[in-house]
Amino acid sequence: MSTVDRAFGFTSLHRVGVSVIRWAEDIGALTLQLWAAIWKIPRVLPVIGKRRRWTDAVRQMLAIGVSALPMVSIMSLCLGFVVALEGAAELRRFGGLQYVVDLVVIGFTRELAALITGIAVSGRSASAIAAEVGTMLVTEEMDTLRVMGLNPIEFTLAPKFLGALITIPCLAILSTLCGIFSGYFFLAFSIDMNFLVYSREVLESIQLRDVWLTLIKSVVFATIIVQVGYLAGLRASGEPESVGRATTAAVVRSTFLVIVADLAATSFFYLMGWSAAG
């Protein structure tokens, strides 16, 4: 009996230790990989980089950004409507229905647009990237690149990274527009608000600082999604089933980290006093 207890105590300690070491390892690997990817970005840029890399980056922009357009816009429309609806239910009690506009505009520019884009793209692209990289590893394509004397980071990671860095902020802006439009949709139906009146209200409550905040956050989310997805793919270990596990791990981790990073960024800007209500 005592040996079983001891064995159990040992194995649970062992498990905690192993997972801590794995986290530390992953953070180290992510840092190195991010650093390598940043150094390879110039090779992907048009004009100064290689022409073929830029073509790759454009293909990635289509895969990561353009094909996520319908999903992100529909999600933002729905969420914008929900925020307006929920807000109106409360604000009506205080006779402040016009504040619904501020609620939607501030909610989207400051927080929801970047977050919803981050989560949507994380679900679509982190898994796609992990699956692609894992498959390349299993089919020895990565080895082929290395044996040819070509850098796998430059070939496979840098175009995705650049593609995400360009398209995800664009998606966040689109999401903001959809959310705000959806708010108008609600108010037009519920209190027959004029579009011009709504636009004037929007322009009054929108702040350039908040838009910057969204852009900065979406750049951070883009980095997390691509880097975490790529690393999860690299962790696939040779047999085909490991690609499936890597794909799941990629989505779970990148979504988790997107939300943690959102908290970190929001509290940072709050503490710096950049997001005090204007």
What distance lies between CA 157 and its chain's CA centroid?
Answer: 16
CA separation, residue 71 to residues 10, 28, 175, 178, 214 (Å): 47, 33, 10, 11, 19
Q: How far is the CB of 222 from other proteins (least distance, A)?
A: 22
Q: Which is nearer to other proteins, 127 or 255 (CB)?
A: 127
Nearer to other proteins, 107 or 233 (CB): 233
Both tokens of residue 90? 């409360």
Contacts of 108 (CB under 8 A, 6+ apart): 76, 80, 83, 175, 176, 179, 180
Please give the radius of gyration of the chain, using alpha carbons only, rounded to the nearest integer: 22
Closest distance between other proteins and the C-beta of residue 180, in Å?
38
Nearest to 240 by CA among 156, 140, 157: 140
> Tokens in use for 268?
């940072």
Distance CA 276, CA 51 (A): 45
Q: How far is the CB of 56 from other proteins (least distance, A)?
A: 9
Smallest distance, Å, CB 131 to other proteins?
Answer: 12
Under a CB-based contact definition with an 8 Å cutoff, are residues 172 and 68 in contact?
A: no
Nearer to other proteins, 26 or 141 (CB): 141
Listed residue (124, 139, 133, 127) closest to 158, CA to CA: 133
For the bound state, the minimum distance from the C-beta of residue 238 to other proteins, rounded and expressed in Å, comes to 11
User: How far apart (Å, rounded) are the C-alpha atoms in residues 65 and 55?
Assistant: 15
Min CB(203)–other proteins separation in Å:
45
Nearest CB to other proteins, comparing residues 15 and 146: 146
Shortest separation between residue 162's beta carbon and other proteins, angstroms: 17
| Element (DSSP H or E) covering residue 53 | helix 51-64
| Nearer Cβ to other proteins (52/92) | 52
Interface ranges with other proteins (CB under 8 A):
52, 138-141, 143-144, 146-150
Which H or E element spans position 90?
helix 69-91
List all residues 6 or more positions away from 194 whose beta carbon is below 8 Å from its beta carbon. none
Cβ closer to other proteins: 43 or 217?
A: 43
Q: Which is closer to other proteins, CB of 83 or CB of 138?
A: 138
